[in-house]
Amino acid sequence: MIKLATLCYIRDGGKTLMLHRIKKENDMHQGKWNGLGGKFESGETPEACAIREVYEESGLVVKEPKLKGFISFPQFDSANDWYVFVYRFDGYTGDLIESPEGQLEWIQNEELNNLELWEGDKIFMEWLDKPGIFTALFKYEAGRLLEWNVIWH
Q: What percent of the chain has pLDDT over 70?
A: 98
Cα distance between residue 68 and residue 132, in whole Å: 7
How much is the pLDDT for 24?
Answer: 67
Domain boundaries, the chain: 2-152
Cα distances (angstroms) measured from residue 67 to each of 7, 28, 60, 103, 135:
10, 25, 18, 25, 11
Confidence band, pLDDT 50/70/90 cuts, at residue 27? low
Q: What class does CATH assign to 2-152?
A: alpha beta
Q: What is the pLDDT of residues 53-81, one digit of tens each?
A: 999 999 999 999 999 999 999 998 888 99
Q: Which helix (H) or strand (E) holds 40?
A: none
How much is the pLDDT for 18?
Answer: 98
Q: What is the pLDDT of residues 89-107, one digit of tens each?
A: 999 999 999 998 899 999 9
The mean per-residue pLDDT over the stretch 132-153 comes to: 96
